[in-house]
Chains A and B, each alone.
Chain A
Amino acid sequence: MSEYLLEVKDLKMHFPIYSGILPKATGSVKAVDGVSFNIAKGEIFGLVGESGCGKSTTGRTILRLLKATGGFVSFEGKTLFDVASGQEMAHDQMRALRRDMQIIFQDPGTCLDPRMTIGNIVSEGLKEHRIARGKEALAQAKDLLELCGMNGECVRRYPHEFSGGQRQRIAIARALALHPKFLIGDEPIAALDVSIQAQVLTLMRNLKEKLGLTYLFISHDLGVVKYFCDRIAVMYLGTFIEQASSEELFAEPLHPYTRSLLSAIPKSHPKEIKERVTLKGEMPSPSNPPEGCKFHPRCPSAMPICKEMEPVYKELSGGHFVRCHLY
């Protein structure tokens, strides 16, 4: 029996690129290119990175909303899939396991079916998995909505009658309906106003304590991740380049990319003087990643070896991993 709730080994998600008339792929977008990590029960694991780094794809692939092209994922010791050996969890088993693993999305505008009432949206999972039906399902939906800070009477209304923050609460209620053990938040507060972000984040933290949840929190916002997460992994162009506990990552960032990310956070006071580590250029496209270390074209500390060989992801001190030739 594994000590970890979620184990991910060498996860890969390559999207083929087709050009020309022939059905053969001419290249691929390596959105996720070898990601490995474990999440313990009750932990909040943060996945941080800029747009195009593959963090959202990672979340979706773990949940099998996308079919991975490589790697291994297990949940509570049960293998979800192992591409190398062709092993895949049976359809029925996977469906049952979906109750334990749920996801909250970023855009409150499109995460709820505009044609369904709130009651039906939240109780859909209950009905699907035969946990409850009809009035009983609606009653449970009401309870869940109230748990998430909404008025139970809203079950009769439609999504467009609610604001972004409220819709996100409804989405959380929907995810909780099946009493999951594990929740992936894919930028759940990015699209919300600052004061509403604080409300939703507090709700998520309270729910974690009340219900004993484990989170994978995906975000591009370092401030949020620093506050909310226990451990954080930094992603760049499809791979993890650093991973550490939240305190250690911010106190002692090792990788040059992490350092520049942290230095790019805007000042917290007009008089503050910040040392900025500016990077050249922009993140290259994942369909054409650089040779060797993927970060070397932009790295202020690049060495000759960085162009030739990709560094190994190794553990330095207790739990602090880095992928860099400097170490």
Chain B
Amino acid sequence: MNTSLIEVQDLVSSFRSPAGPTRVVDGISFTIPKGKVLGMVGESGCGKSITSLSIMRLLPQPNGFIESGRILFDGTDLLELSLERMENIRGNEIAMVFQEPMTALNPIFSVGEQIGEVLQTHRGMKGRDKKEKAVELLRLVGIPRPDRIAEEYPHQLSGGMRQRVMIAMALSCDPKLLIADEPTTALDVTIQIQILDLIRDFKDKLGTSILFITHDLGVIAEMADEVAVMYLGKIVELASVCDIFDHPSHPYTKGLMESRLVKKRKGDSLICIPGMVPSLTNKPKGCAFSPRCSDCMDICRRESPELKEISPAHFVRCWLSN
């Protein structure tokens, strides 16, 4: 029986440029079962945001395009659907929460109107029903005095409140999949905990699957069931969250784990990953991580490794593990 809600197979997303197309997502595959959270972690340029936009088929136009791959959502390949059918799915069955709610919310409409827009588009609700449901949703996400807040504009609310509004919008139509792209990065730590608890509550109540994108390993520890570590457009390690923390196998994952300050005491030297992420137009030959890897071997510089299963449900893309 297929319990996976969404299955991405060999997705390749690229950007056109005068110098030719650049692959930003270079062949990634993953599954998210129903009701589970997949955490996608990586630093800038790794392609995690583009992955989420590819699933929604919202790549920046005119230069972004999906080169190849399949995205099976509840059995249907999203890439084969008509635009109209895709619009039905967006906001309805697949919803998205962004990092910067100030730019994701329309500044000239009140938050109640914006939630109402989603309800009207997908549920056909109008008038008083729409207003009441919007207020109800604001109450569910923990906003105090929701009837008053519904009349306010995004700039009048704090960052935490705006993010709650975004979550209310995202969950208004009971989506099957929630894509959260760094939803708490711009928030203070005490608000972050509140928002993470909120998302977790909804997941438990509604059985929503979540693709949770972040660069913060602490947030991954809080939220994820499974983790995909991305580097320069490829998944370099994929495992359950406990396996990633207990047995990180890829040198990059190990480096990220070691760089965490939370484990360090004063005076400990910081072990860091030397160098920088290379630009996408200038990918290294062979394994993309080889220039920064302290365990780099000859073969790493020549050939790019494949994703191999090294222990049950633990995949690594590294010559050291082969």
Contact = CB atoms under 8 A, between A and B. Distances in A.
A271 B225 CA distance: 11
Interface residues of B, number: 46
A281 B144 contact: yes
Contacts of B222: 266-267, 270
A59 B43 CA distance: 30
A282 interface: yes
Given A198-B272, A282-B191, A265 B262 contact: yes
B262 A223 contact: yes
A260 B189 CA distance: 10
A220 interface: yes
For chain A, give the interface size range: 35 or more
A224 B259 CA distance: 11
A51 B188 contact: yes
B178 interface: no
A196 B259 CA distance: 10
Task: Tell me whether chain B's interface is mostly helix, strand or loop, or mixed.
Answer: helix
Nearest to B196: A266
Nearest to B276: A163
Contacts of B277: 193
B221 interface: yes
Contacts of A261: 189-190
Interface in B268-292: 268-274, 276-277
Interface stretch (A63-71, A77-85, A272-280, A286-294): A272-280
B90 to A, nearest CB: 30
B62 to A, nearest CB: 24
B159 A270 contact: no
B165 to A, nearest CB: 14
A132 interface: no
Contact of A282 (B161, B261, B262): B161
A130 interface: no
27 contacts: A50-B188, A51-B188, A166-B276, A193-B43, A193-B44, A194-B259, A195-B43, A195-B255, A198-B259, A198-B270, A202-B269, A202-B272, A226-B261, A230-B266, A246-B266, A265-B218, A265-B262, A266-B222, A267-B218, A267-B221, A268-B262, A269-B221, A270-B222, A270-B224, A270-B241, A278-B193, A282-B158
Given A193-B215, A266-B193, 20 more contacts: A51-B188, A163-B276, A193-B43, A194-B215, A195-B256, A197-B259, A198-B261, A199-B274, A220-B189, A223-B260, A224-B261, A227-B264, A227-B270, A260-B190, A265-B189, A266-B196, A266-B219, A267-B218, A270-B221, A282-B158
Interface of A: 50-51, 163, 165-166, 193-199, 201-202, 220, 222-224, 226-228, 230, 246-247, 260-261, 264-272, 276, 278-279, 281-282
Interface of B: 43-44, 144, 158-161, 188-194, 196-197, 215-219, 221-222, 224, 241-242, 245, 255-256, 259-266, 268-274, 276-277
